[in-house]
Amino acid sequence: MISRFQNPVKVEFAAVNDLIVSSLHSDVDLVENIGHYIVESGGKRLRPLLVLLSAMANDYRGQQHVAAAAVIEFIHTATLLHDDVVDVSALRRGRQTANSQWGNAPSVLVGDFLYSRAFQMLVEIGSLPIMAIIADASNLISEGEVQQMANAGNPEIGESTYNEVIYKKTAVLFEASARIGGILAGQCEQQMAAFGKHLGMAFQITDDILDYRGVVGDIGKNIGADLGEGKMTLPLIYASEQADVETSKLIKDIVKGQRKEEFSTILEVVEASGGLDYALGIARHQVQQARLALVDLPRNPHTEALLALADFSISRMR
């Protein structure tokens, strides 16, 4: 499915993959083993793809978008390694997480290696604006991770806090990826940033819906994983706001880690409340905003791929 978005940048995308593999070189075997395991685990490479498409949609003719795309993928992969340790996750992209295979300490340390390698590559690119974007995005991602951890088990989390967290944890790196493409091309930086932000929000909201409605083989993690970790995602927030006193208490107890045997009941409650439909409506609005951000860009295969990518973010709901 995702290959159709890669077609306009097929050559550049292959170059990014080659650069990622070569940049994983280390004299420490464990670093290479874990690095290759997570990087080659079947991810869609959406964020580096966004760098390439955003740059070339704006008629960029250089080569730095390839290195910038690899940097983005390393930053993203490092966050995944750290996230899985924090969340005690056993499944990622349909297979065992690195921490399940090698343990927490190696996963964290290899995540640190990927972060540092990304910044080495940034120095080679030599663009202070791009460095600033990556530095700021990395800081916000870390802040969002801490914020989500602090919020776990708190059933009083509302929609505004939820939006703040998913922007930091997910959308900010989409935003940075698209913005970098605009910077490299020397135009439409703000339009590309807006596109990336709304695209990232749509992807995360849809992922949170799939936590209730998805299939393990499709989403690559166990259904109900977020609920099991006490996360108040948008469908559950809406259901909680609509619930009667008894159902509200059930939701609060489960989010606090109590009455886990009633997970299936919560899935039914979220569905019946309209929480999934509400969240999907919000995701669709984010897609509309993403598409609007590109309204003044020239139409070319790269722009069309970006628009199709926006539609794909919610078409995963089936």
For the chain, list residues with pLDDT below 50.
216-221
pLDDT of residue 218: 47
Cβ–Cβ contacts within 10 Å for residue 44, how many?
15
pLDDT of residue 31: 83
pLDDT of residue 41: 73
The answer as to CATH 1.10.600.10 being correct for domain 6-311 is yes
Give the three-state DSSP class for 95.
strand
Element (H, E) at 306: helix 301-315
Q: What is the pLDDT of residues 210-251, one digit of tens each?
A: 988 765 444 444 557 788 788 899 999 999 999 989 988 888
C-alpha 63/C-alpha 51 separation (Å) is: 12
CA angle, residues 79, 76, 178, in degrees to nearest 5: 140
Q: Domains of the chain: which residue ranges?
A: 6-311
User: Which value, in Å, is the radius of gyration of the alpha carbons in the chain?
Assistant: 19
State pTM to two decimals. Answer: 0.92
pLDDT of residue 220: 46
What is the total residue count of the chain?
A: 318
With beta carbons less than 8 A apart as the criterion, state whether 137 and 174 touch: no
Q: What is the pLDDT of residues 59-105, one digit of tens each?
A: 999 999 999 999 999 999 999 888 877 777 776 666 778 787 787 88
- Non-local (6+) Cβ contacts of 137 within 8 A are 75, 172, 173, 175, 176
Hey, what are 51's tokens?
């760098």
